Amino acid sequence: MSEHIQYLKTLFEAGENPDTFDEKLADFFPAIIYIYDVDTKHISFVNRKVHDFLGLSCEDIGGDLNELVFSEDIELVRHELEKFYTLQNHDSYCYNCRFNHKEGHWRYYRTQGTVMRRKDNGQPASFLFIAQDITDYRKNEDEVKVVRGLIEETEELLQLGSWTYTIANQKITWTRGLYQLLEFDEKELPAITYDFYVDLVSAEDLVSFENALKDAISTKSGFEHEYQVKTRTGAYKIVSTKAKVVTDANGNAVKIVGITRDVTRLRNVERERERSIRELNRSNKELEEFAYIASHDLQEPIRKISTFGERLKAKFIDKLGTDGVLYLERIMASADNMRMLIDNLLEFSRTTRSSYAFEWINLQDIITNVKTDLELKIEETNASIVTATLPRLEAVASEMKQLFNNLLSNAIKFRDSSVAPIIHITSGKTTKTEKEEHHLPVDKEFFKIQVHDNGIGFEEEYADRIFQIFQRLHGKSEYPGSGIGLAICKKIVDNHNGIMYAESKPGSGATFVVILPEKQS
């Protein structure tokens, strides 16, 4: 472009007539050409390309630079014009600004200028400019900057950086993300070499890292390797590198490009999680063994209390008197309650130690079997169980039977004495919103099964408490039971990687919601 401006200047200095000169320029230069007069601060000449590019005519501009330059760039242009006063002959200067378009928008132009004529004292009398449209180039440049910025932000967010290793000279280039990962200042760090980088790799991992790199080059394939590096501050980080080998036209390995990611926090979290899981499994195992053994050991004294209580009542009932018989019956009732608690505790322990023998089952069949088992209770209470279509899914059949047996038994037990129990069992697939609400994986199918009754209900504040072992909301004399049934239900659902919760209001019945995956992973 600088050659063009000098060529134009030569043509003007040759004494061409400006009236005819514009037509010649239109044929040869795809640009806007104008002359700016220093004394009048006006445009004294502009070629007809201004109409082709901007839709403006010489009359539209009227010699006023402000009519040509976009309003927000006028101060910028005035500042840039000051630099032209110091130019020597045959020197030129370039700047970018926006020009107005007749349709109301603007276009970006790169303007190259030089001194056109000088006064007797050597000061510039006029400037010659040639302006080329760079809007599309500028747009692409801006897009590249945006993309580059997004990449850098992504690298920072994901704690990774990309790099290129040139095999011939063993030079390495890093992106900003890798500088940040390794805690180096990209302005201060000199050229990065292979030797510089391997010095950062921990001694324990150096051999395996170099072998992985050599194998990738020799096989012209990629590699993925995890190792430890030392940062500029001396801190150690665990990084994971994934790279590909680039070959030339002859199939020779010339470069390796890759991404290195900081996985220190991830690995620490994984190790902490593994440690916590081991500790939790150990604790659970001890608790299960304790519950199982203690339950068996407790059975013997309970049996003796019941046996000798029965003998005492049969042999000495006449001598015990009214109070004695009452006390003895209370002792035996307490023994029976204790036996029921122990049996339920054993049942809960067995649920915790589930074998996870998953198989495809039809919940419709499970409910049918449960209704058969509860047939006597259903008849005694005149209960109605209304069942919609239920799904097929992967589950432990015996545990599903126990789950719905407990739920239906509870619905019948906690009935409103003034009306016959009505229990509705409905089912449907979970929605995207429900998956998000319960933090379920969006790529898996889940079924939502609801058991709704018209019983006495409970306060919403107890919705979590009822699933805790031995927790009761009512007295044993009013509603007998051990308080373990719903805890067993919750444990079964947990064993099936599902979710269980309850919704209720006093006097309005209760709804127990069970969300189960269609397939077990």
Q: How many domains does the chain have?
A: 4
Is 268 a domain residue?
Answer: no
Is 337 a domain residue?
Answer: yes
Residue 281's CATH number: 1.10.287
Residues 6+ apart with CB under 8 A from 427: 363, 388, 389, 390, 391, 447, 448, 449, 450
Q: Is 146 found in the same domain as 11?
A: no
Q: Where does a domain end: 353, 375, 399?
A: 353
Q: In Å, how far from its chain's centre is CA 116?
A: 61
Q: Is 398 found in the same domain as 293?
A: no
Residues 6+ apart with CB under 8 A from 378: 371, 385, 412
3-state SS, one letter per residue, for 289-330: HHHHHHHHHHHHHHHHHHHHHHHHHHHHHHHHHHHHHHHHHH
Q: Where does a domain end: 327, 353, 379?
A: 353
Rounded to whole angstroms, the Cα distance separating 108 from 134 reads 5
Q: Is 509 found in the same domain as 489?
A: yes
* SS3 (DSSP) at 208: helix
Containing domain of residue 474, as a range? Answer: 356-521
Rounded to whole angstroms, the Cα distance separating 305 from 491 reads 32
User: Using only C-alpha atoms, what is the Rg of the chain?
Assistant: 43
Q: Whats the size of the chain, residue-wise?
A: 521
The strand pair at 384-387 and 422-429 is best described as parallel
Residue written as token pair 């409103």: 416
Residue written as token pair 């994901």: 158
Is 418 a domain residue?
Answer: yes
Residue written as token pair 């020009």: 99
* SS3 (DSSP) at 210: helix
Is 11 a domain residue?
Answer: yes
Residues 6+ apart with CB under 8 A from 256: 164, 165, 167, 213, 216, 217, 243, 244, 245, 246
Residues 6+ apart with CB under 8 A from 408: 370, 371, 374, 385, 423, 451
* SS3 (DSSP) at 338: helix
- In one-letter notation, the amino acid at residue 209 is F
Q: Is 513 found in the same domain as 451?
A: yes
Q: Where does a domain end: 262, 294, 318?
A: 262
Is 255 a domain residue?
Answer: yes
Q: Is 391 found in the same domain as 409?
A: yes
DSSP string, 438-465: TT--TTS-EEEEEEEE-S----GGGTTG
Angle subtended at Cα 106 by Cα 100 and Cα 111, rounded to the nearest 5 degrees: 75
- In one-letter notation, the amino acid at residue 73 is D
Residue 27's CATH number: 3.30.450.20
Residue in 34, 36, 28 with CA at minimum distance from that of residue 56: 34
* Ordered strands of the 499-504 beta sheet: 384-387, 422-429, 446-453, 510-517, 499-504
Is 219 a domain residue?
Answer: yes
Q: Is 286 found in the same domain as 257?
A: no
Rounded to whole angstroms, the Cα distance separating 220 from 193 reads 21
Structure tokens at 74: 């006028």
Q: Is 331 found in the same domain as 205?
A: no
Residue in 469, 496, 303, 322 with CA at minimum distance from that of residue 394: 496
Per residue of the chain (521 residues), what is the pLDDT tens digit? 555 566 556 656 655 554 445 445 544 567 888 889 999 989 888 887 888 888 888 788 888 888 899 989 999 999 999 999 988 877 888 898 999 988 888 888 888 888 888 888 889 999 988 888 888 777 666 555 655 555 555 555 556 778 888 988 889 888 888 888 888 887 877 778 889 998 999 998 999 999 998 998 888 888 889 999 999 888 888 898 888 888 888 888 888 888 888 888 888 888 888 888 888 777 777 766 776 676 667 777 888 888 888 888 888 888 888 888 888 888 888 887 777 777 766 666 666 555 567 899 999 999 999 998 888 889 888 999 999 889 999 998 888 988 998 899 888 888 888 888 999 999 999 988 888 888 888 778 999 999 999 888 887 877 777 887 655 555 444 545 556 778 888 888 988 889 999 888 887 888 999 999 999 87
Q: Is 519 found in the same domain as 498?
A: yes
Is 510 a domain residue?
Answer: yes
Q: Are the CB atoms for 33 and 25 separated by under 8 Å?
A: yes
Residues 6+ apart with CB under 8 A from 44: 35, 36, 37, 63, 126
Rounded to whole angstroms, the Cα distance separating 230 from 201 reads 6
* SS3 (DSSP) at 42: strand
Residues 6+ apart with CB under 8 A from 394: 358, 359, 360, 361, 517, 518, 519, 520
Q: Is 347 found in the same domain as 372?
A: no
Q: Is 253 found in the same domain as 283?
A: no
Residue written as token pair 């400019």: 129
Q: Is 509 found in the same domain as 378?
A: yes
Per-residue buried b or exposed e for 161-185, using 16+ beta carbons within 10 Å of the residue's own CB: bbbebebeeeebebbebbbbbbebe
Is 267 a domain residue?
Answer: no
Rounded to whole angstroms, the Cα distance separating 397 from 403 reads 10
Q: Is 521 found in the same domain as 440?
A: yes
